[in-house]
Amino acid sequence: MHGPGAGSSGWLLVALCTATGAYCLLRMRSRVEEQRLAAGGEALMGFGMAAMAVPAAVLAPPRWAWAVYAAVFGGAALRALWAARGSAHHLHHLVGALAMVYMAAMAATGTHAGIPVLTGGLLLYFTAYVLWTGTRLVPVAAGGPAEALGAPGWGDRLELARACRLSMGIGMLAMLLTL
């Protein structure tokens, strides 16, 4: 984020999140509807994280921009809450969007010091998520929903989707550590 000490690590986070967001846009071309729906939220999250991670020495957004980030991710949180009725995976999107609202609110106040209990809870959640997602990167067995429709395209590669989710989880951890 825009806290002190953001430099080359900030640029690495920008690159990681931008690449992840771009791949999620490719995933929106999937033939599997659930993949398309999840990919849209993940693309928003990736690009939003990239924008928030730009080092302040290069671009220090005005305070009102953080309110815009909070509003956009507040809307994403509401959408994820609505979508969670059909799939528990969207609960993760809800937590991620709320974490982005929280970080934007901290940046808007200019304190860059989060609420220790909330920050700690989010750090624990995303650490567990990263470890769990990392264990799931074992190659997917044939016969999944994408393979039933023929040869999987780039948007249907489940192992790449999991790698993107892992990347965004690691990025979220890095951003939360700056609070």
pTM (2 decimals)?
0.83
Contact 83, 93 (CB under 8 A): yes
Contacts of 154 (CB under 8 A, 6+ apart): 26, 27, 29, 160
Share of the chain above pLDDT 90, in %: 46
Residue 40: pLDDT band by 50, 70, 90 thresholds?
Answer: confident
Q: What residue type is assigned to position 144 of the chain?
A: G
**Which distant-in-sequence residues (6+ apart) come within 8 Å of 149 by Cβ?**
31, 32, 156
The answer, yes or no, to whether residue 155 has pLDDT greater than 70, is no
What proportion of the chain, given as a percentage, has pLDDT over 70? 85
What pLDDT score does 137 carry? 82
**pLDDT tens digits, residue range 106-147?**
988 877 778 899 999 999 999 999 999 988 887 655 555 544
Give pLDDT tens digits for 49-67.
999 988 877 888 888 899 9
